[in-house]
Amino acid sequence: MKKTENQTFENQTFENQIDDKIDFGRLIRNILMQSKLVLSITFIFLAISLTYFLFATKEYKISSLLQVESFDLNSLDPTDTMQMISPMNNSGGDLDNLVTLYESRTNMIELINQLQLNIEIKDLNKDEFVDFNINSSLIEESVSKIFNKFLSMKTFYISYHEDYLKLYSNKKEFVANINFGEDNYIFENLIINVEKAYLKNDRMIKVTYQNPDIIYEDLIEDLDVSTLSSRKAFSNDEGLIQISYETDDISLGKKIINVANDLLIQQRLSYESEKSRAAINFIDENIALLEQVVTINQERVKNFLELNELVDIDLETKAVIEKVQLIDKSLSEIDIELSVGMQNYKPDNPLYKQLINQKKVIEEEKNLILSQIKKMPKEQQEYIDLFSDLETSRISLEELETRRLGFSIMEASTIGDIRVVDEAYMENLVSPQFLSVILVTIIAFLLSCIVAIIRGSNFLPISNPAEIFDNNLPQPMIGVIPFITKIENNQDDLKLVSSLESIIVNIKSLQNNDVSKNVIVLTSPTPSNGKSTISVAMAHSLSSIGKKVLVIDADFKRGTIGRNFLKKKSVNENEFLKINEENISSFKTSEGFYLIPRVRKLVNSFQFVTSKGFTNQLESFKKMFDYIIIDSAPILSVADTSVMINKSDFNFVILRHELSKISEVKQANNIFNQLNSSIDGYIYNAYAKPEGYYGYYGLYGNYAYQYYSEKYLYESYEYEKST
């Protein structure tokens, strides 16, 4: 039966519109139909993730918190005049610099050596210990920078005796005895010193040494040091430092962080103490010089007064002397500040420049007073100079002594600018986490659902006739044939008879009383779908109601219908074309049922079915029979069928339960569309109701599932009642 191009276009448009819509019910049914697969995949991943969670090495996060404070210990200085140049001023430094200092190679190597992280001693019991130091020689350190970590590892064995350890090579060959607490022993470029040890029994213990540089790289990778400063709460040299370390050994992780914290604090204390000591040494040198200057100036003033007893030192002179003393004192303080400040500041530092400017102002004031002194009598000028020098040197000496006292107090009472807020503690379990088990299970479930949907839509065979409708294929279901063993021995089976009668009723409905439309092509997407069986069954059913039916075996390569019904299992091309009303009786199998077996030895079967002779013979058959059933080859396999469907009035596609696939049905449907033809309906063959039918189709299905699977298959019960 042909159709126009407009009809083809409308049908294709309709199908595309249907395909564009997502049928969630169909997706859910695909999942439910493969629930065992979905649950199996989900359970496997759940078991794997749960096993990993229970038995994998646990990684923990160890944390600590430090506070960096910015304060001035110069408050201990009684004079309170050198606040800017206090060695503790700005001691906090930049937090980023402290982070860098914390992670410095020097600190980390010291940490590794203290905790002996690069030394592994195997098979020690709880009450056994070995306290020794192992270091690389200079040669070994240079070699380790060239070779990788495998070459930098050294292995040897030891055994315990009361006063010494026996040392063995990695091949367990005796090397030497190492006495406790004695000089270092050099073995394979390693310097070994044993403090004390205790091992039960006289057995060998394996010791592995690795260069600290290799451990340093791993340590830095797992160690995270970051600042938590806030500009609103802290200055740029104060704030909080967060330290975290990931490890599978909680106790060791805490030790690593606590020792690293102590190293940073001790380093800062040492630095601050050194600054105070440097200032004290500088002041001591100047005190010695000033003591000599004070002694000389005292002698000069004394000699002057003895030689000039009559000099009148009035109030004006005393006032000038006091001014000069104050100015000299200020200059002395600034000079000291500048001297000490040179050790802490660069010349372009704003505070340092401010001191220089202050000194210039005071010097200008001093020059003004000196100009006034020059106008005074000579003896008074000389006295003022001598006395001013004496007082200036004396004040400077007192200032330095006071300053030295302040720095000494600072050195003795240095408490540092870093405080441990939180000692190392276990913050949380990093991996594996139980949440990962839940996530893996959920992901596995979703992926298994996707696999089930793809598998059900493309790879699984059809298990229910309603799946045709469910996959948006608009062609009707002409009938559902139940599963049987041998068709010729089951003609009286009520279910089969009822199913075939339903198919005949639907065919007559398609004819719409037009008896000229009597050519039926039966095809299938792939072989073994039961075309031949259904062709014969339909012919028997039609002949039983008085119709004259012809079955043509048009599967020219694999057709076998003739073997079961005729002595002549095949015909040649000439014999087929010469069949007429006179010799048609030789192809009669039973009353009203005629069968023409396949045409053998065709040079080109496609040319045969497209030939004028075949067309004319088919037209003559139409006049001789009420129905002509053409049992054609699978449409996806043989091109002959493509010609047949355009010569027929009705085209039915046979689908077999648990064999045909939706993807194959869609391919067949596309071929019909390309040939400007159509599928008039599907016949579902060998149907057997699947287990859990109502669980899968009843709960999540629709009326189509009930209609297609029950209407044709179980209608026989009503038929039986009526008869």
In the chain, the domains with their CATH numbers are: 275-419 (no CATH), 461-722 (3.40.50.300)
Distances in whole angstroms, Cα of residue 359 to Cα of each of 379, 429, 715, 716: 29, 62, 119, 122
* pLDDT for res 614: 94
d(CA 430, CA 427): 9
Peptide bond into 432 cis (omega under 30): yes
d(CA 247, CA 219): 10
d(CA 322, CA 656): 124
d(CA 178, CA 194): 7
* pLDDT for res 709: 41
The Cβ-side half-sphere exposure at 271, using a 13 Å CA radius, reads: 18
CB atoms within 10 A of CB 408: 16
Position 63: which residue type?
S
* Stretch (H or E) spanning 429: strand 418-431
* pLDDT for res 336: 73
* pLDDT for res 715: 40
> What is the token pair recorded at 331?
């200059």
Please write the tens of the pLDDT for every residue from 384-414: 777 777 777 777 787 778 777 776 766 555 5
d(CA 56, CA 50): 10
Q: Are strands 593-596 and 588-590 parallel, antiparallel or unpaired?
A: antiparallel
**E strands, 72-179, in order:** 119-121, 129-136, 154-160, 164-168, 174-179
**Any idea what DSSP says for residue 584?**
G
* pLDDT for res 691: 57
> What is the token pair recorded at 356?
């220089």
CB 390 within 8 A of CB 300: yes
Beta-carbon contacts of 52 under 8 Å, excluding residues fewer than 6 positions away, are 432
* pLDDT for res 716: 35
Please write the tens of the pLDDT for every residue from 546-571: 999 999 999 888 888 877 777 778 89
Go through the chain and tell me how many residues it has. 723
Q: Scanning the structure block, which residue is given the tokens 């599978």?
A: 248
CA torsion, points 77, 79, 80, 81, in degrees to nearest 10?
A: -120
**Cα radius of gyration (the chain):** 54
CB 640 within 8 A of CB 605: yes
Distances in whole angstroms, Cα of residue 508 to Cα of each of 286, 626, 652: 129, 12, 14
SS3 category, 205: strand
> What is the token pair recorded at 287?
């005190």
Sign of the alpha-carbon torsion through 47, 52, 54, 60: negative
**Low-confidence stretches of the chain (pLDDT beneath 50):** 1-20, 71-93, 139, 142-143, 146-151, 231-235, 489-492, 692-723
SS3 category, 184: coil
Give the max Cα distance, the chain. Answer: 179
The Cβ-side half-sphere exposure at 525, using a 13 Å CA radius, reads: 20
> What is the token pair recorded at 513?
């009383």
d(CA 538, CA 237): 97
